[in-house]
Structure 1
Amino acid sequence: MNILAIDPGSTSTKVGVRRAGKLVKASIEHPRSEMEGFHAVMEQLDYRMEHLLRYLHETGADQVRWDAVVGRGGLVRPVPSGVYLVEEPLLRDLIRGVSGEHAANLGGVMAHAVAARQGVPAYVVDPPVIDEMWPVARLSGMAGIERRSMFHALNQKAVAREVARELGKTYQELNLIVAHLGGGITVGAHRKGQVVDVNNGLNGDGPFSPERTGGLPVVGVLQLVEQGAFSTEQLKSIVARKGGVFSYLGTVDLREAEQSARDGDGWAALVLEAMVYQIAKEIGALAAALAGEVDGIVLTGGLAFSATVVAGVRRRVEFIAPLFVRPGEFEIEALIDGALRALTGAEAARRYQGGAHEDRT
């Protein structure tokens, strides 16, 4: 089957073209200087579509008859894991950004636009708002504020399934802790095929990352607001884009930070060690949440290419369970696989209704 996959990121649009059984991947880069000219994510739609259609034309892929087009899922309302048809309710919530603004919101909208040209189905797969959390994991410690499930669901579930196959098991047979280590960091407890607890890496929860603050001492944040140091909008930007390693070292490039540490910068070395320390603590906390019944720990995402990060985490957590390292992201492959499951009937596509209980087609 011929399938086009579209995966928008903050400064790129990754594309996967599957035809004649072969997958070709590419990344269309968008200079940060150009992206900063847009005030909202949906303002980028025409710009990204122009670049996508140009790529398809230049590679001859615009002549392909697609069986389906699949996009990265965005920040819609909490939903169960699965493959979703892109229809009006889903489009509406992607465009509105009902759970927040993120480049991923463009995935389903772009997939629908391309699919509509040929009258074929458009899908999204395992959006970041998958909610399979235990009730006990939702309580935050303050009535009126609930812990929310928002994480790198697509990649986490893809690598979890891969590790399960390597172990000769199904995903539903294992308990895994999966840590996606990238610009944002999310660590999920995968119990028998469901992510029963996970930190919200976008909105200030869990370990700090190259650009996100992770969890912060609440009183310290309130004091900054009282002092007028930052507006609430400025603080939101810091939490999501200008915190973590960037706030300490002025860079989100881990390679730069590691080079500074190798050159004798003790502060850079401490910042990196603290990030690794917090990642390991999060993994340890989820091991306790799973009552120690952990079949494996999986590190994935861009930071898993770092020998320093992997070695530091390994040293602190390998006593819990075997460690599997799957560096990089497998989102294009996961999108293609999800669309194939829906097209072949291996998995029934869901119809999004704007709530946690969705109907299957």
Structure 2
Amino acid sequence: MKILAINPGSTSTKIAVYEDGISILVSNIRHSVEELSAFSRIIDQFDFRKSLVMQALKTNHISFQFNAVIGRGGLMKPLQGGVYEVNEKMKHDTLYAMRSHACNLGGLIASDLAAQIPGCRAFIADPGVVDELDDIARITGSPLLPRVSIFHALNHKAVARRYAKENGAVYENLNLIICHLGGGISVAVHRSGKAVDVNNALDGDGPFSPERAGTLPAGQLIDLCYTGKFTSEELKKRISGRAGLAAHLGTTDVPLVIKSIENGDTRAQLVMDAMIYNIAKSIGAASVALYGKIDAILLTGGMAHSDYVISRIKERTSFLAPIVVYPGEDEMEALATSALGALTGEFPIKEYQ
């Protein structure tokens, strides 16, 4: 079984080729600001990115023959986790998605390439809009503003299955709290194979992160909107993009911040420790959803490489459950594993409706 995985990000397009579950190519195609500035909308980058994928395969002498092409799923309507075959309804909803992100190109490119290969199938798996929330977790103090599930579902699910496999268990039988520590931070309650509670890690909920503001004082935010100092788009950037560590310290580079701390920067230490404090509080709050019956707390994402961050999270939360760390994120392997599982019947293939 030969599989091509495609993961479009803000400034790069990652591709990977797996044959019978073994990686034979991993490539990170980076895009300069100048290249991307030629496109007024992300969706207009479709042909540009697709051609680079084809060029990378040719350069690495990979024959254009695959059993499946799987893309990172886009920000379409909410759906259950799992593997979905790309269909016309999905492509339509992705083209007209309310939220713009490079991940919207994943399924579209996968479908286009798969259509050129006889017998090849196009999939997505566990997109960021996976919504398995309990009804009680959706309710806020305002009927106008229900909680929305947008998080690092692909990595959450992959890490959960990895932990289960390593411990001779089944994901669907476990109670887990999983915290993805990246540019955005998501803390999810996984009960019996579903993420039944999670913060909106994209545009405003949960702990602040290197790039996100997290939960903010609502009254002050409303007042800020009416000062006339910022446009709507500028304010959105102050919530996602130029927020968190970026706003406080002018950088999202966690190792650089830690180096500053080691050199005596007390301001950097205060902000970094505040972020960690808020992460730990979110993990503690998540434990309530499981009545304290937690099999494990899993820490993953780029910041999970940092001893500074992990040791301090552990200090505050290790009393809740055993903590297991999975540094980084291997979304390419997660995509390829999902496609292989779909082709072999290990994972059911779901229909997007």
TM category, shorter: over 0.9
Q: Which residue of 1 aligns with 2:197?
A: 197
Secondary structure of 2:116's counterpart equals: helix
1:58 maps to 2:53: no
Residues 38-67 of structure 1, C-alpha deviations (whole Å, 9 max, x = no match): 332112212211221110110111x24200
Deviates more, 1:157-166 or 1:221-230: 221-230
Q: Does the 8 Å CA contact 2:12/2:29 hold for their aligned counterparts?
A: yes
Q: Output the aligned Cα RMSD.
A: 1.2
For structure 2, the residue ranges without an aligned partner over 5 or more in a row are none
1:257-288, Cα deviation, whole Å (9 max, x unpaired): 11111111111111110111111010000001
Mapped contact 1:159–1:330 kept (Cα < 8 A) = no
Residue type at the aligned position of 2:112: A
Question: What is the aligned partner in structure 1 of residue 112 from structure 2?
Answer: 113
Which residue pairs with 2:176 in the alignment? Answer: 176
Q: AA paired with 2:213? A: T
CA offsets, 1:232-265, max 9 Å, x none?
2211122111100000011111122111111111
1:117 counterpart SS class: coil
Amino acid at match of 1:239: I
- 2:36 corresponds to: 35
* Structure 1: distance between partners of 2:209 and 2:34: 23
| Equivalent residues, number | 351
Calculate percent identity across the aligned residue pairs.
Answer: 46
1:317 aligns to what? Answer: 317
**SS at structure 2 position matched to 1:321:** coil
Q: How far apart are the structure 1 equivalents of 2:278 and 2:34?
A: 32
TM-score by length of 2: 0.97
Quick one: distance in 1 between partners of 2:346 and 2:295? 26
How far apart, in 1, do the equivalents of 2:21 and 2:176 lie? 31
**Residue segments in structure 1 that go unaligned for 5+ positions in a row:** 354-361
| Cα distance in 2, alignment partners of residues 309 and 33 from structure 1 | 34
Give, as a single letter, the amino acid of the residue that structure 2 aligns with 1:56.
L
* 1:143-222 alignment, distance < 5 Å: 143-222=143-222
Alpha-carbon distance in 1 for matches of 2:92, 2:299: 34
Letter in 1 for 2:116: R
Q: How far off is 1:35 after superposition?
A: 2.9
Equivalent runs, 1:1-361 vs 2, <5 Å: 1-19=1-19, 21-23=21-23, 24-61=25-62, 63-98=63-98, 100-119=99-118, 120-353=120-353
Deviation at 1:36, TM superposition (A): 4.2
Secondary structure in 1 matching 2:156: helix
Q: Judging changes above 3 Å, is the alpha-carbon distance between structure 1 residues 33 and 302 closer, same or farther for their aligned structure 2 residues?
A: farther
Equivalent residue of 1:141, what SS? coil
* Aligned-residue offset at 1:3: 0.4
For residue 20 of structure 1, report the CA deviation from its aligned partner: 5.3
| Deviation for aligned residue 1:21 | 4.7
